[in-house]
C-alpha cells in the first residue's frame, strides 16, 4: 500500500435517472432549473437519428424556449466551444442540454465553462482551474461508452496544435444525467464495439489506478462483469433493449469509477493520438488496451488477477506470468469477438510519429495515476507495439 496518498476519498456524481424512455423527461428537469431558454447541443448524426426531436418535443410540452447548436465534430474543437458559447450568450440562454456521444457532451461542458467565465476555453486546461459555477447542465448520452455524462472530465481538441487537452473539475459534473438505453439503438456495430471497449478500458484503468479506493472498486468490477458478459450478444442482437440496458449500466458504472479514481496510460496515449490524427476516442483506446495492460501488469499483479477473474478467467494454479498472458489473450479475443480488428498503422500512424505522440501523452493528467511509473521511452515502446 502506498502511504503517500491520503486515505480520504471523495466521490462525485450527477443526479442520475436511468431507464428506457427517460429522455422524454428532459423538459421537467429543465423547468426545475428555472429554464427561460435552453441551448440544445448535439451533432448532425444524432439529429438525423431523431433524438434531438424528442428533446425539442419535451421542451415544447413544458413551454420552454430553446435554440439548437449542432456544429460539433467527432472530437469537439476549441472553435466549436467558443461559437457555442457565443450562441448561448447572444440567445439569452440560461440552461444547457446536450444529447449525443462524448463529443456533444464535452462540447456542452466547455460551452458552460466559457459562458460562466467569459474567457477562452484554452485558459482552463488542467485540474481545478474553474472559479465560477457553470450554468445548469443536463446530459443525455446516446452511446454506451464515454460516460462524459457522469464524469468530471472535459476533453477538447486543439486543431492548431493537433493536440487534445483535458479539463478536470467537480464543476463540470453535470447536474442531471438522463441515461436512456433506447438512444443507443442508432449506434452502428463498429461504434457499439468502440464505445463498449472504451467503457471496459475505463473500468480496468480505474481499478488499477493509484486513485482507486473502496468507493470506486465495486463500480469498476461490476462494469467489467456487465460489459464482458453482454457486449458480444448486444452487437449480435441490436434490437434487444434488455441487453442495451446492461451495457448502458456497465458504461455508467465504469464512468462513476473512472471519474473518481481517474485513469491511466491507455487514456493518456489515446488523447494524444486522438488529437494528432482526429481519430475516434474509442478506436484509439481499443487499439492500445492490451499493450498497456501487459506493460502495467507487474506494478499491480494482485489487482490485475482480480480483473482476470472478473472477466471469467480461471486463474487457479497459474503463475503471475500465465495470468498476465491469459488476460492479454482474453482482451484480444474479446476485441475480435465484437468485430474490432483495427491497428494504429491502419490509420496512418508510423514510427516517426511516436516521439511527438509520446511527449504529449507524458503531459496528459491521466498518466499521473497510471499504476506503473512510465518514462517517455516506456510510452514510445508501447506505441510501437500497438502499431
Tell me what the pLDDT averaged over the chain comes to. Answer: 96
In which element (H, E) is residue 322 found? Answer: helix 320-337
Give the pLDDT of residue 107.
98
H-type alpha helices, 141-240:
189-208, 217-236
Mean pLDDT of 183-192: 96
| Calpha distance 71→112 (Å, rounded) | 16
Q: How confident is the model at residue 8 (pLDDT cuts 50, 70, 90)?
A: confident
The length of the chain, given as a count of residues: 387
The helix (H) or strand (E) run that includes residue 380 is helix 376-386
* 149 has pLDDT over 90: yes
Q: Where is average pLDDT lowest: 6-10, 33-37, 239-243, 358-362? A: 6-10
Residue-level pLDDT at 348: 93
With pLDDT > 90 as the criterion, what percentage of the chain qualifies? Answer: 97
Beta-carbon count within 10 A of 329 CB: 12
pLDDT at 1 over 80: no
- Domain(s) labelled CATH 1.20.1090.10 in the chain stretch across 187-386
329's grid cell = 489473450
Judged by phi (left if over 0) then psi (alpha if -120 to 50, else beta), residue 20 lies in: beta
Q: What confidence tens digit (pLDDT) does each residue in 111-129 have?
A: 999 999 999 999 999 999 9
Strand ranges of the sheet holding 137-141, from the earlier edge strand across to the other edge: 15-18, 176-179, 137-141, 95-100, 37-41, 65-69
The yes-or-no verdict on residue 4 having pLDDT over 70 is no
Contact of 245 with 195, CB cutoff 8 Å? no
CA contacts within 13 A on the Cβ side of 11: 13
**Which residues belong to CATH 3.40.50.1970 in the chain?**
15-184
- Contacts (Cβ under 8 Å, ≥6 apart) of 45: none
Architecture of domain 15-184: 3-Layer(aba) Sandwich (3.40)
Q: What is the mean pLDDT of residues 179-188?
A: 97
pLDDT value of residue 174: 98
Q: Measured between alpha carbons, how far is 359 from 272 in angstroms, rounded to an integer?
A: 9
Task: State how far the Cα of 227 lies from the Cα of 245, in Å rounded to an integer.
Answer: 11
Residue 368 has pLDDT above 90, yes or no: yes
CA Rg value for the chain: 20
375: CB partners within 8 A, 6+ apart: none
At residue 7, the pLDDT reads: 72
pTM over 0.85: yes
Is the pLDDT at 14 greater than 70? The verdict is yes
187-386 belongs to CATH 1.10.1740.10: no
Average pLDDT over residues 90-94: 98
End-to-end CA, the chain: 34
Q: What kind and span of H or E run contains 140? A: strand 137-141
As a whole number, mean pLDDT of residues 346-366 equals: 96
Q: What was the pLDDT predicted at 206?
A: 98
pLDDT digits over 296-307, tens only?
999 999 999 999
Can you give the pLDDT at residue 384? Answer: 97
Residue 2: is its pLDDT beyond 90?
A: no
CA 341 to mean position of chain CA atoms: 21
Give me the pLDDT at residue 322, please: 98
Q: What is the mean pLDDT of residues 30-38?
A: 97
In angstroms, the CA 15 to CA 246 distance is: 19
Amino acid at each position: 500500500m502506498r502511504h503517500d496518498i491520503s486515505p480520504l476519498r471523495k466521490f462525485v456524481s450527477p443526479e442520475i435517472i436511468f431507464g428506457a424512455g427517460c429522455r422524454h423527461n428532459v423538459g421537467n428537469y429543465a423547468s426545475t432549473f428555472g429554464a427561460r431558454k435552453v441551448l440544445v447541443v448535439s451533432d448532425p448524426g444524432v439529429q438525423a437519428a431523431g433524438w434531438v426531436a424528442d428533446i425539442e418535443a419535451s421542451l415544447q410540452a413544458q413551454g420552454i424556449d430553446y435554440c439548437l447548436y449542432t456544429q460539433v465534430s467527432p472530437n469537439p474543437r476549441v472553435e466549436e466551444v467558443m461559437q457555442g458559447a457565443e450562441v448561448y450568450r447572444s440567445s439569452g440562454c440560461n440552461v444547457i442540454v446536450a444529447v449525443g456521444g462524448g463529443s456533444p457532451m464535452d462540447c456542452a461542458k466547455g460551452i458552460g465553462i466559457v459562458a460562466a467565465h467569459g474567457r477562452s476555453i484554452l485558459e482552463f486546461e488542467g485540474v481545478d482551474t474553474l472559479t465560477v459555477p457553470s450554468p445548469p447542465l443536463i446530459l443525455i448520452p446516446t452511446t454506451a461508452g464515454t460516460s462524459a455524462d457522469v464524469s468530471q472530465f472535459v476533453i477538447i481538441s486543439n486543431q492548431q496544435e493537433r493536440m487534445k487537452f483535458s479539463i478536470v473539475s467537480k464543476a463540470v459534473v453535470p447536474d442531471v444525467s438522463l441515461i436512456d438505453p433506447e438512444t443507443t439503438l442508432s449506434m452502428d456495430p463498429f461504434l457499439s464495439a468502440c464505445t463498449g471497449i472504451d467503457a471496459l478500458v475505463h473500468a480496468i484503468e480505474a481499478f488499477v489506478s493509484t486513485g482507486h479506493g473502496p468507493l470506486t472498486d465495486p463500480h469498476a468490477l461490476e462494469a467489467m462483469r456487465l460489459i464482458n458478459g453482454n457486449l458480444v450478444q448486444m452487437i449480435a442482437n441490436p434490437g434487444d433493449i434488455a441487453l442495451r440496458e446492461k451495457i448502458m449500466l456497465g458504461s455508467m458504472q465504469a464512468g462513476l469509477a473512472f471519474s473518481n479514481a481517474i485513469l491511466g496510460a491507455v487514456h493518456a496515449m489515446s488523447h494524444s493520438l486522438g488529437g494528432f490524427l482526429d481519430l475516434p476516442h474509442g478506436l484509439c483506446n481499443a487499439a492500445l488496451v492490451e499493450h498497456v495492460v501487459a506493460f502495467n501488469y507487474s506494478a499491480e499483479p494482485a489487482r490485475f488477477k482480480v480483473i482476470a477473474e472478473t472477466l471469467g478467467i480461471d486463474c487457479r494454479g497459474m503463475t503471475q506470468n500465465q495470468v498476465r498472458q491469459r488476460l492479454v489473450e482474453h482482451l484480444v479475443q474479446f476485441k475480435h469477438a465484437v468485430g474490432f480488428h483495427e491497428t494504429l498503422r491502419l490509420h496512418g500512424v508510423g514510427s516517426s510519429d511516436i516521439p511527438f505522440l509520446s511527449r504529449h501523452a507524458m503531459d496528459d493528467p491521466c498518466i499521473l495515476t497510471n499504476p506503473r511509473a512510465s518514462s517517455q521511452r516506456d510510452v514510445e515502446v508501447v506505441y510501437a507495439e500497438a502499431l
